[in-house]
C-alpha cells in the first residue's frame, strides 16, 4: 500500500513538472535550445537503440 501510494505520488509530481516545463517552453520559445529548432526530423530508422544506446 505504501509503495503504491509513493509511486503514484512520485509519478504525479513528475507528470506535473513535465506539464509545467512544457507549457513554459511553449509560451517562451527562447527556453528551448537553438539546435533543437534547426535540426530536421530524422529520415532513416534508428539503429542500435537510437540516441540512448549511442548506436
pLDDT digit string, tens, across residues 2-55: 988 888 888 888 888 777 776 665 655 555 555 555 566 666 655 555 556 554
Range of the domain at 8: 1-29
In a domain, 3, yes or no: yes
How confident is the model at residue 38, as a pLDDT? 57
Distance of CA 39 to the CA centre of its chain: 17
How many structural domains is the chain composed of?
1
Q: How far apart are CA 30 and CA 41, in angstroms?
A: 20
How confident is the model at residue 13, as a pLDDT? 84
In a domain, 16, yes or no: yes
Task: Return all residues near 55 (Cβ < 8 A) that are at least 6 apart.
Answer: 47, 48, 49
In a domain, 11, yes or no: yes
Q: How far apart are CA 42 and CA 9, in angstroms?
A: 35
How confident is the model at residue 32, as a pLDDT? 55
In a domain, 44, yes or no: no
Amino acid at each position: 500500500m505504501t509503495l503504491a501510494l509513493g509511486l503514484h505520488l512520485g509519478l504525479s509530481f513528475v507528470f506535473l513538472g513535465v506539464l509545467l516545463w512544457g507549457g513554459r517552453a511553449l509560451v517562451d520559445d527562447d527556453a528551448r535550445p537553438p539546435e533543437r529548432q534547426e535540426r530536421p526530423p530524422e529520415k532513416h530508422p534508428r539503429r542500435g537503440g537510437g540516441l540512448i544506446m549511442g548506436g
